[in-house]
Amino acid sequence: MAASRVSSGARTSASRGSSGARSGSTSHGSSGARSGPASRGGAADGASTPWLVVGLGNPGDKYAASRHNAGYLVIDELLADLLPAPGSLAQHRKTNSLICQTRFGETPVVLARPRTYMNESGSPVANLAKFFKVPAHQVIVIYDELDLDPERVRVRMGGGDHGHNGLRSITKAMGTKDYARIAVGIGRPPGRMDVASYVLKPFSKAENAWLPIAVADAADAARACVQQGVEAGMRYAESRG
């Protein structure tokens, strides 16, 4: 069903760099986390308006450990780190999604996964934003990126889809490019391997050595975006190399 959380064996304390506190609560609890100072273009505007953090991937056991499901893994990480206890996803029929309503510090957040396949992600994401009244600039989409070196994480606001079918679908459904993206680098396929085959295959043994760190960094970047603003998320990701 859902992608499983990455094992933490390769994760180090360095992955918890400067992003701030662990966050939130269970899906129905009250927040117990510290929140960072707001910066321009970020958390100050979203103190009462929720943020929507969406991890992209494909549903089903067949794809659970695939490179294309990096976004799912980051949502798993965010759920596991919620305070006072790990959170869980529940079905949201009106948007064809799985969600957890929580808080990062004092800021309400909806963590979500579309229940559709990657190239049909747009409708669930647009419907979630509409249902929870989330403006586009407070939508964060987490996805796998071919044109980013493995292990690296990048945060940006707006821009093109870089050939990513999930982003293309979301941009079309939302009618705007002006939402935040957190990319988890998976690199290009070796040799002449077909791209579609590459992204749908499981992470290799070598990749699993760095994957927990990259997933933790992406989760920290998402928290920084929500609590301190997207620019803070960008700086955090850049600081991680």
Tell me, letter by letter, the H, E, C secondary structure of 128-154.
HHHHCCCCHHHEEEEEEECCCCCCCEE
Residue 241 pLDDT level (bands cut at 50, 70, 90): confident
Residue 81 pLDDT level (bands cut at 50, 70, 90): very high
d(CA 41, CA 49) in angstroms, rounded, equals 13
What phi and psi values does residue 175 have, to the nearest 5 degrees?
Answer: 75, 20
Residue carrying the six token digits 């929507």: 52
pLDDT for res 23: 53
Q: Which residues does the annotation mark as catalytic?
A: 68
Structure tokens given for 19: 């992003």
DSSP 30: -
Question: pLDDT over 70 for what percent of the chain?
Answer: 80
For residues 48 and 205, which has the higher predicted lDDT (pLDDT)?
205
- The overall average pLDDT reported for the chain is 85
Residue 162 pLDDT level (bands cut at 50, 70, 90): confident
Reduce the DSSP state of residue 107 to 3 states and report it.
Answer: strand
Vertex 50, ends 172 and 123: CA angle to 5°? 25
pLDDT for res 191: 87
For residues 25 and 65, which has the higher predicted lDDT (pLDDT)?
65
